[in-house]
Amino acid sequence: MPNLASITDINRIVHQINQGNYDIAPEQFYDKVLLDTIKLGQEHYVHLANTENYTLPKGTKKLQKRRWGGLTAHTTPLKEGLPPAPDKTSMESITFTATAFGRYMEFTDRVNLDQIDPQIVHYTKELGDVMSRTLERYARETLLSSASKLFSNNKLSVGELEITDKLTIADLRFAALRMQRLLVKPLSSGYFNYICSPEFLYDFMDDPLVEKYMNINQTTRQLFDDGKPFPMFMIKFIPTMLDEFYTPELDHPGEYFDGDDFYLRVFAQDDSGNTYYYNQLGDETHRTTNNTTSYLADGTAIEAGEKVSWKIKTFVDSDEITKVDSDGNKTTVTLGGSSSPTTAEANALVWRQVPVHKGILYGKDALVKIGIAGEQNAKTIIKALGSAGTNDPLDQRQTLGAKINSIGYGILRDEAVVVTYSVPSQAPAVSGLTAEVVKMNNTVTDKAADTESNTLAHRNYTVDEADKTKGTVIDKDATLPEVDQV
């Protein structure tokens, strides 16, 4: 190598980093632009599309709607000079209630100074969006509370549903026909709406009536292209994933209430995949609710008594399970002795809750929304540093929140809503996937609680202990060392 000028006096980066330990070339670049939060898009917010809105005056929490009855025509002629018997009136009324919802988060002042990401901006937006999803969830719960139920394959409750119990277009057609007979009018679009899951639409393609439609019309419409369903028999299909599978920590698709107790329908498959086993877990020993505030994986706080957990049981001898073979033959197996499966084999199976999908078929006069005028929308409330006055004397705390002051939903006519229960063919394979994707990798909710002694190393007091002046204790009896006089 030719001998060029010496590098001794040149400022070389390699010298600075390796020998000088200059921390001037960090390994990562912190891009301030955040990735999109993984969550459902607005196209899944479908439950509020056809609500009738009523406003309450300020100071009221309930709305009463009344319906006056009609009269029946008859052809009894009038007698001369004699009036007929006078008709009477009939009326019924129904009441709806409004309530308030809200969420908030609290941060210290260091969140603005000690880290890079705009957490406050992100969670301000997220709180607004979660209020929209709260209303969607409230509307869905209200629609699902309807006392009109349709179970696939003529089953009578969730406790009887099996993995092969798909809902068909013929079932929905029957439900729509009944609604017409009950004088439930279609929506302004001319259709009844059916809110369903993507798994139901997956089976839509294989439905006999859909196959017939495509054969006769020699078309697949857009089903083979973008998978969007087409209306059939006055029913319009509205897919959504904002259902019980999106929030498995709060909802249990296999859970049902038989009027007296809660049960969880569970199933297991043998190794061959041809035989299914079913069981109902009762709420006495397998269902618990949180007795203190607990946190979901995404940091959502759930008040005590609001989070339900189920524990899969350990089978013992004399427990009964239902066995369904590949031909659909059902037998009840009492575990123990020489039963097939044995108790140990039953416990070795992987038991999961049956993924029951709920659909909502509705027409006019279904869902009603009420609320005080001007108070039905979400409001963002930001309390900046120091806004708590003397409770925050050094401007160390800030909060951001969202609130809806007055909102309520109700069903105007129970006949206008039919809730369907089924287990689509692909539900066991895919229904639980969304929740895993939404869960973040890092969270503080499952870590030890934050305490006052928790500190960051770089915030430690930097003055050396030895350099601190501690002061001197004066002892009046101390003997001073002699000083030579000059």
Partner 1 sequence: MAEEKKTSTKNKRVVKKDEDMEQNITMSPKQFQELIQETIKTALNQSKGVSPEVKAEVTTNVQATLATKINNRVREGEQFFAYLSDSKGPRKRIVIDKIYREYVGDKITATVNGSTVKVPVDGKQHWVHPAHYSAIKNKLSYISSVRDRAAEGPDMFGNDVGDYKQVRQGS
Of 158, 149, 57, nearest in space to 98 by CA: 57
Q: Segment near partner 1 (CB under 8 A), from 124-132, 307-315, 338-346, 387-395?
A: 387-395
258 contributes a contact to partner 1 by CB under 8 A: yes
Cα 12 to Cα 19: distance, rounded to the nearest angstrom: 11
Q: Which residues in the 76-115 window bind partner 1 by CB under 8 A?
A: 92-95, 97-100
Strand partners, 206: none
For residue 33, the 8-state DSSP code is S
Which CB, 191 or 245, lies closer to partner 1?
191
Cα 212 to Cα 107: distance, rounded to the nearest angstrom: 60
- We find the least distance from the C-beta atom of residue 99 to partner 1, in angstroms, to be 5
Q: Segment near partner 1 (CB under 8 A), from 8-16, 119-127, 148-156, 343-351?
A: 148-156
For residue 22, CA distances in Å to 7, 9, 16, 127 come to 19, 17, 6, 42
Which CB, 94 or 163, lies closer to partner 1?
94
Which CB, 89 or 391, lies closer to partner 1?
391
The pair of structure tokens assigned to 100 is: 């308030």
- We find the least distance from the C-beta atom of residue 148 to partner 1, in angstroms, to be 4
- B/e letters for 144-155, b = 16+ CB within 10 Å, e = fewer, are bebebebbbeeb
- We find the least distance from the C-beta atom of residue 35 to partner 1, in angstroms, to be 32
DSSP string, 212-281: HHHHHHT--TTTTTT-----BTTEEEEE---STTT-TTT--TTEEE-SSSEEEEEEEE-TTSS-EEEEEE
Which CB, 150 or 238, lies closer to partner 1?
150
301 contributes a contact to partner 1 by CB under 8 A: no
Which CB, 184 or 427, lies closer to partner 1?
184
Of 264, 248, 270, 345, nearest in space to 311 by CA: 264
The long-range contacts involving 296-300, CB below 8 angstroms and separated by at least 24 positions, are 296/249, 296/250, 296/445, 297/249, 297/439, 297/440, 297/443, 297/445, 297/446, 298/438, 298/439, 298/440, 298/443, 299/443, 299/444, 299/445
Cα 141 to Cα 419: distance, rounded to the nearest angstrom: 11
Question: One-letter amino acid identity for 243?
Answer: D
- We find the least distance from the C-beta atom of residue 63 to partner 1, in angstroms, to be 11
Determine which residue in the list 189, 293, 334, 340 makes contact with partner 1, applying CB under 8 A: 293
Which CB, 359 or 408, lies closer to partner 1?
408
Q: Segment near partner 1 (CB under 8 A), from 35-43, 47-55, 140-148, 368-376?
A: 140-148
Question: One-letter amino acid identity for 371?
Answer: G
- We find the least distance from the C-beta atom of residue 214 to partner 1, in angstroms, to be 11
Which CB, 99 or 115, lies closer to partner 1?
99
448 contributes a contact to partner 1 by CB under 8 A: no
Q: Where is 175: in which H helix or E strand?
A: helix 169-181
Q: Segment near partner 1 (CB under 8 A), from 118-126, 179-187, 355-363, 466-474?
A: 179-187
Q: Are 283 and 262 a contacting pair, CB within 8 Å?
A: yes
Determine which residue in the list 26, 86, 337, 389 makes contact with partner 1, applying CB under 8 A: 389
471 contributes a contact to partner 1 by CB under 8 A: no
Q: Which residues in the 192-251 window bind partner 1 by CB under 8 A?
A: 208, 212, 215-218
Of 105, 143, 102, 101, nearest in space to 121 by CA: 105
330 contributes a contact to partner 1 by CB under 8 A: no
- We find the least distance from the C-beta atom of residue 169 to partner 1, in angstroms, to be 10
- We find the least distance from the C-beta atom of residue 377 to partner 1, in angstroms, to be 17
122 contributes a contact to partner 1 by CB under 8 A: no
333 contributes a contact to partner 1 by CB under 8 A: no
168 contributes a contact to partner 1 by CB under 8 A: yes
72 contributes a contact to partner 1 by CB under 8 A: no
148 contributes a contact to partner 1 by CB under 8 A: yes
> Phi and psi at residue 335, in whole multiples of 5°?
-70, 145
272 contributes a contact to partner 1 by CB under 8 A: no
- We find the least distance from the C-beta atom of residue 312 to partner 1, in angstroms, to be 23
25 contributes a contact to partner 1 by CB under 8 A: no
Could you give the 3-state DSSP secondary structure of residue 326?
Answer: coil
Q: Are 321 and 278 a contacting pair, CB within 8 Å?
A: yes
Cα 432 to Cα 356: distance, rounded to the nearest angstrom: 11
Site string for partner 1, 394-433 (x = CB under 8 A): --------------x-x---xx--x---------------
Q: Are 377 and 371 a contacting pair, CB within 8 Å?
A: no
The contact set with partner 1 (CB under 8 A) reads 61-62, 64, 92-95, 97-100, 141-142, 145-151, 153-154, 156-157, 168, 170, 174-175, 177-178, 180-181, 183, 185-186, 208, 212, 215-218, 256-260, 292-293, 388-389, 391, 408, 410, 414-415, 418
